[in-house]
Amino acid sequence: MNDCFRILVPIITCWLLNNAEAVNPSPNFSPSAYSHRHEAGGTGNNHLQEEIDLGTTLVAIKYAGGVVVGADTRTSAGGYVSNKFAYKINPIFRPDFEDPTEVDESDEPSRISSSSSSCVLCRSGSAADTQWLAGLAKQRFQMRKLERPGYRPSISEVAHFLRYQMRQGGGESQFQASLICAGYDSVTNGGQIFGVTPGGSLWEEDNFCVSGSGSTILLGYLDDALQTAKQNFASEYTEECAIALVTKLLRLSIARDGSSGGLVRLYVINRNGLEERTVYPFMDTSTSTAPSVEGAGEKTTHTDLEGFAKPVSGC
């Protein structure tokens, strides 16, 4: 028996040392970096050995009462589409509502909000890294609300927390992530949009923010569509206009960006909370409950030979 212990103890100790990072990750632990180190030299299908990537299109637009955010639903591993209906927008916290003790039947709304702040995180980059960051942020602020009664988190606080996590260690960020943190802030009584770059830079946007592989396709369109916008753009833009613009931007990106695809998933965020909508990108919106988008119902006919000479008969 003693001989067995003498043999097993060094083996177990070596295993624990080699896997200590997986059991108790360091403060700047990166799921994708860990995965790459431990899967190097593996065998099998190539797409199973590649990092799941959220090559994507993220859009956030302010309007008078809040923010509309949207994303496509495609994830890929190299050239392999691993998921056509992924969720790339994660709610971090929602409003806290309390039932009123005495409410007149004519009172609207019929429930009282103790904190009307709502926040979502739009993710692009490594699926492993961004899921880990979203889960960490959600856990942190849920715990703070439980530990500190009356605590009201802000959108800025969430954005700075995410930036701090990405910059831990001082050097280059180990996370492959580009994030948009957006929501309705009860402190400022309006929508807020923050962008966090892969390097850990943080900035606040006045009107809109786009991110992901499809963002370069949309910047020119946005510059043209909003060229007449003034500083009061966000205070005059209506919810319907913001929904229509975000939907159209994602449709354009899905049509041209090879890493964007699937459905259009939207979140309308205001003092009443979060409202999720899902739109098929090329559906005829005139027969659906989704907001109508310019050109969405138009039907065009074309072929790969359009613009070329007609083929010889019989071919």
State if pTM tops 0.85: no
Q: Is pLDDT larger for residue 146 or for residue 33?
A: 146
Q: Residue 302 pLDDT > 90, yes or no? A: no
Query: Apex CA 36: angle with CA 32 and CA 38, to 5°?
Result: 115
Average pLDDT, the chain: 75
- Higher-confidence residue of 72 and 310: namely 72
The per-residue pLDDT for 78 is 78
What angle, rounded to 10 degrees, do the helices at 127-147 and 155-167 form? 130
**What percent of the chain stands above pLDDT 70?**
62
18 vs 93, more confident: 93
The answer, yes or no, to whether residue 310 has pLDDT greater than 60, is no
Cα–Cα distances in Å, from 137 out to 101, 153, 201? Answer: 33, 11, 17
What domains are there in the chain, each with its CATH number?
A: 51-97+113-282 (3.60.20.10)
Q: Tokens 């799941």 appear where?
A: 52
CA distances from 31 to 46, 131, 171, 174, 200 (A): 19, 9, 17, 9, 17
Q: Which has the minimum average pLDDT: 83-87, 101-105, 280-284?
A: 101-105
Residue 173's pLDDT band, with cuts at 50, 70 and 90, is low
Burial degree of 291 (CB within 10 A; 0-12, 13-18, 19+) = buried
Q: Provide the CA 55 distance to its chain's centre, in angstroms.
A: 11
Residue 60's pLDDT band, with cuts at 50, 70 and 90, is very high
